[in-house]
């Protein structure tokens, strides 16, 4: 490789294309979920333990901070899910062109945004 | 070709396949749980416990957890090899990931059969 080739690693001068943004969000949501799943596994385990455990989870979920954590975690699941479906499409060769790639990425942002808002309504309503 | 002692199947192609198969299982489980919870706004302990008492649900839940472990390992392994260049830090990170996923498995098995 030519060592004198021009390189630009100044991220502030680079405009990221939408697929790059959906890709890094997929990764960030995945790393977060590794921790967030712990919260969900704890909720499942405690709620199944006994009627009392079920009540503990129920009453915990009436607190604002627990609702917020649940919403963030459910949002990460939903985003990771939608972006993951795009990956499966791309595995089949759909949405890989210069024209269809950004369209699919915008679709991922739009669909997951709607689902995340609906999740918020579900959790707080 | 990916060949590394810490990747799940010692082959990039198998890792890719594990990632996709587990993704489909996790997607199905997520949809199932979300639909069940949305359809049961007045969920009681008896209903919730009865759901997880079905053998099919136990199998589905355990399969989802095993898929999560494979999926998370391949994903976090990729993240670790991309960003954590000093080997010691990478191995410590992956050890923490492995132990955490093992704890998730034990908690799930105990919740289902405990």
E strand or H helix at A108: helix A100-124
Strand ranges inside chain A, DSSP E: none
Average pLDDT, chain A: 95
Q: Could you give the CA distance from residue A119 to residue B17 in angstroms, rounded to a whole number?
A: 30
Residue A68 is predicted with a pLDDT of 98
Looking at chain A, the whole-number percentage of residues with pLDDT higher than 90 is 84
Q: Could you give the CA distance from residue B99 to residue B88 in angstroms, rounded to a whole number?
A: 17
Instruction: Flag if B79 and A42 touch (Cβ within 8 Å).
Output: no
Burial (Cβ within 10 Å: 0-12, 13-18, ≥19) of residue A73: buried
Nearest to B27 among A31, A37, A81 (CB): A81
Distance of CA A120 to the CA centre of its chain: 14
Cα–Cα distances in angstroms (integers) from residue A55 to residues A52, B20, B112, in the given order: 5, 36, 18
Q: Which residue of chain B has the CA closest to A40?
A: B104
Is residue A60 within 8 A of residue A70, CB to CB? The reply is: no
Per CB-CB distance under 8 Å, the chain B contacts of A81 are 27, 30
- Tokens (6 digits) for A80: 């990771």
Per CB-CB distance under 8 Å, the chain B contacts of A77 are 30
Question: Taking the CA of residue A102 as centre, how many other CA atoms within 13 Å lie in the half-sphere pointing to its CB?
Answer: 5
Count Cβ–Cβ pairs < 8 Å, chain A vs chain B: 57
Residue B10 has pLDDT above 90, yes or no: no
Distance from CA of A68 to the nearest CA of B (A): 17
Nearest to B38 among A33, A81, A122 (CB): A122
Model confidence pLDDT, tens digit, residues A47-80: 999 999 999 999 999 999 999 999 999 999 999 9
Is residue B108 within 8 A of residue B65, CB to CB? The reply is: yes
Per CB-CB distance under 8 Å, the chain A contacts of B52 are 48
Is residue A75 within 8 A of residue A119, CB to CB? The reply is: yes
């Amino acid at each position: 490789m030519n060592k004198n080739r021009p390189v630009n690693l100044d991220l502030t001068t680079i405009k990221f294309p939408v697929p790059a943004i959906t890709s890094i969000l997929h990764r960030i949501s995945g790393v977060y979920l590794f921790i967030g799943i712990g919260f969900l596994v704890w909720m499942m385990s405690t709620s199944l333990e006994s009627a009392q455990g079920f009540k503990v989870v129920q009453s915990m979920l009436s607190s604002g901070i627990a609702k917020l954590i649940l919403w963030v975690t459910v949002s990460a699941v939903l985003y990771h899910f939608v972006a993951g479906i795009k990956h499966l499409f791309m595995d089949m060769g759909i949405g890989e062109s210069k024209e269809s790639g950004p369209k699919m990425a915008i679709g991922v942002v739009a669909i997951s945004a709607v689902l995340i808002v609906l999740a918020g309504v579900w959790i707080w309503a | 070709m990916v060949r590394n002692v810490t990747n799940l199947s010692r082959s990039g192609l198998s890792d890719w396949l594990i990632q996709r198969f587990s993704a489909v299982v996790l997607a199905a489980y997520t949809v199932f749980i979300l639909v069940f919870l949305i359809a049961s706004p007045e969920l009681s302990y008896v209903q919730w416990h009865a759901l997880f008492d079905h053998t099919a649900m136990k199998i589905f839940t355990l399969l989802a957890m095993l898929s999560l472990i494979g999926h998370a390992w391949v994903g976090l392994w990729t993240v670790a090899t991309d960003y954590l260049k000093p080997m010691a830090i990478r191995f410590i990170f992956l050890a923490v990931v492995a132990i955490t996923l093992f704890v998730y498995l034990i908690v799930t098995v105990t919740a289902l059969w405990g």
